[in-house]
Amino acid sequence: MALHPGDLLRDRYRIQQAVAQGGMGSIYLADDVRLTGRLCAVKEVIGDPTLSPQAQQEAREQFYREASVLARLDHPSLPKVSDYFSEDDREYLIMDFVPGQDLSDIVSAARDEGRFLPENTVLGWARQLIDALLYLHTQDPPVLHRDIKPDNLKLTPNGTIKLVDFGLVKLLDPDERTVTIVQGRGTAHYTPLEQYGGDTGHTDGRSDIYSLAATLYHLLTNEAPMEAKQRFLKPSSLPALRDINPLIAQRTERAVLWALSLHPDERPPTVGHFRDALFEGIFPDQTGNRVYVPASLQEWLERAMADRTQRWLAVFVALFALLAVFITLVPR
């Protein structure tokens, strides 16, 4: 039964309104009546009524194991989980309420206005998200998100990106050594092929890398990438980023397309490798060794011109380059 405004959970969390609702649960905005002025997000997880009593009990135990892992997480780009409990055959996760705009709304506004989001701005968000994924993937056991997308990213008033919509999912395979914290198979445009197996599909950190790259593709081009299933049938059907937005640097395009490889083995092996490619230009060569690929002068100038703090330096370098060419052409 759905919660309504005014309902009180555990004598502490008074529901204000529903924020999002789906088949497997809902998210509500609530007041913490013990801490006056504190707003929190209430994630309600609905169990599967078709499961046997034993399976439902196992699912509840799994909820508590995973919730205890989430409650220990502490990172600036992750909402803090402060409480979790069961009530009326439903599980609840209490998190900090995150104010701000969804990145899906921000990129939609840019598209409606006929402009692209500045590359440096998007890469600044990417740096924060990569740091959050490095933190999640190095937990013991590693924590996967599996549903990174613009809808699940919020830009707070102070400029911090928050990776939101934490949930709980499946009974983990005994041999699986990760905790998966988002329910379902993800969202098609941002979901790698291996995740289409749902609860039976094998996923690891490279699945999150794909979803992050798909999100960056959308933010940089105003278009969500083609679904992995469609790309599998037509391998060359994904437009290159610079074909849509020619202002994007070649290095950025190359890193994002690498991370969007359909097979996990062809993607960056870790988030750290993706970070090094995206920001340092370090890519694998044909033998698998990591090598630095220097940016061309044109690419450096494009990035510098996009960065207000380096724009005058870019103009000076461009003028110096033109002067050098002029001197070489002057007859002696």
Cβ contact 16:30 at 8 Å: yes
Distance between CA 251 and CA 76 in Å, rounded?
Answer: 27
Q: Residues with catalytic annotation?
A: 147
Give the pLDDT band (50/70/90) at residue 185: very low
Give the rounded distance of the alpha carbon of 107 from its chain centre.
14
Average pLDDT over residues 79-107: 91
Choose between 231 and 168: higher pLDDT: 231
Pick the closest to residue 216 from 208, 319, 303 (CA basis).
208
- Dihedral pair phi/psi, residue 102, rounded to 5°: -70, 145
For the ranges 32-41, 52-61, 284-293, the lowest mean pLDDT is seen at 284-293
CA separation, residue 47 to residues 50, 96, 130, 141, 162 (Å): 9, 23, 32, 24, 27
- DSSP secondary structure, 205-218, as one string: HHHHHHHHHHHHHH
User: Peptide bond preceding 141: is omega within 30 degrees of 0, i.e. cis?
Assistant: yes
Instruction: Out of 34-38, 136-140, 288-292, give the one with best mean pLDDT.
Output: 34-38
Arithmetic mean of pLDDT over the chain? 83
Pick the closest to residue 224 from 186, 167, 197 (CA basis).
186
Residues 6+ apart with CB under 8 A from 314: 300, 301, 304, 305
Cβ contact 151:19 at 8 Å: no
Pick the closest to residue 137 from 149, 125, 145 (CA basis).
145
Average pLDDT over residues 64-70: 82
Fold of 8-96: Phosphorylase Kinase; domain 1 (3.30.200)
For the ranges 133-142, 165-174, 249-258, 320-329, the lowest mean pLDDT is seen at 165-174
Is residue 83 predicted with pLDDT exceeding 80? yes
Q: What integer pLDDT is reported at residue 327 of this predicted model?
A: 60
Q: What integer pLDDT is reported at residue 286 of this predicted model?
A: 74
Measured between its terminal Cα atoms, the distance across the chain in Å is 88
- Which ranges of the chain does DSSP label H, i.e. alpha helix? 53-72, 103-112, 119-137, 205-221, 228-233, 241-244, 250-259, 271-275, 297-306, 311-329
Instruction: Out of 159-168, 187-196, 238-247, give the one with best mean pLDDT.
Output: 238-247
Give the pLDDT band (50/70/90) at residue 182: very low
DSSP structural state of residue 149: S
Is residue 283 predicted with pLDDT exceeding 80? yes
According to DSSP, the residues that pair with 39 across neighbouring strands are 31
Is residue 287 predicted with pLDDT exceeding 80? no
Is residue 216 predicted with pLDDT exceeding 50? yes
Distance between CA 157 and CA 162 in Å, rounded?
Answer: 11
Q: What integer pLDDT is reported at residue 268 of this predicted model?
A: 96
At the fourth CATH level, which superfamily is domain 101-292? Transferase(Phosphotransferase) domain 1 (1.10.510.10)
Q: How many CB atoms lie within 10 A of CB 315?
A: 13
Residues 6+ apart with CB under 8 A from 246: none
Ordered by start, the domain boundaries in the chain are 8-96, 101-292, 297-329
Average pLDDT over residues 142-171: 81
Give the pLDDT band (50/70/90) at residue 173: very low
Distance between CA 166 and CA 152 in Å, rounded?
Answer: 9
According to DSSP, the residues that pair with 14 across neighbouring strands are 8, 31
Is residue 143 predicted with pLDDT exceeding 80? yes
